[in-house]
Amino acid sequence: MSKRVLCLLVDGFEETEVVTPVNLMRRGGLEVVIASLHGGVVEGRGGLRVEPDADFEELEPQTFDMLYLPGGPGVVELLADGRAASLAQEFYTAGKPVAAICAAPLILQAAGLLQNHRFTAHFSVHGELPGVLDERVVEDGLILTSRAAGSAVDFGLALLRRLAGEPVAREVAAAIMV
């Protein structure tokens, strides 16, 4: 049975940070479920409309092996809603990896998960995240973070490596000529 990844979306997500990592993980045999937090079609910051695989309310989060939180302006809504931070805490407490890119590490901060961990994030939120590193991808225990859309390929491969192993990540990287 393949490993499962839950990817949460709300309007305002950064398209590249969803499409690229999700595509790479699926190429590597992972089951990635894109879930709308509020149900229905979700629109990215650039107007790309995504029909989610499921509504969040219909899922059993405990059946997933990793939580993936893309960034973009929608992170403000995810923070205000609070369910993403609670879910991140649940995954972390259960010993499951939590991944966030761009501004989404703010959700990990709200969940209390960044203390004693190395992490990175988009430069626009550096002032809100003490200790942020200026690196493309940072993996520290169960916390995986990346800076922005420009590091989405690196991050997608890191997520794939975490759940499917190095040989699978190398095979997918070779197929896309990285």
Query: Looking at the predicted structure, is the pLDDT value of residue 88 above 80?
Result: yes
List the CATH number of the domain containing 33: 3.40.50.880
Return the pLDDT at 1. 76
Q: What's the whole-model pTM score?
A: 0.97
Return the pLDDT at 93. 98
Return the pLDDT at 146. 98
**Which amino acids are annotated catalytic?**
102, 122
pLDDT digits (tens, 9 = 90+) for 34-52: 999 998 999 999 999 999 9
Which residues make Cβ contacts (< 8 Å) with residue 140, sequence separation at least 6? 117, 118, 119
- The total of structural domains in the chain comes to 1
Domain that holds residue 52: 4-175
> Given pLDDT bands bounded at 50, 70 and 90, which one contains residue 119?
very high
pLDDT digits (tens, 9 = 90+) for 60-70: 999 999 999 99
Q: Please say whether the beta carbons of 97 and 21 come within 8 A.
A: no
The rounded distance, in Å, linking the Cα atoms of 174 and 178 is: 6
- Average pLDDT on 173-177 reads 98
What b/e sequence results for 158-168 when a residue is b if at least 16 CB atoms lie within 10 Å of its CB, and e otherwise?
A: bbbbbbbeeeb
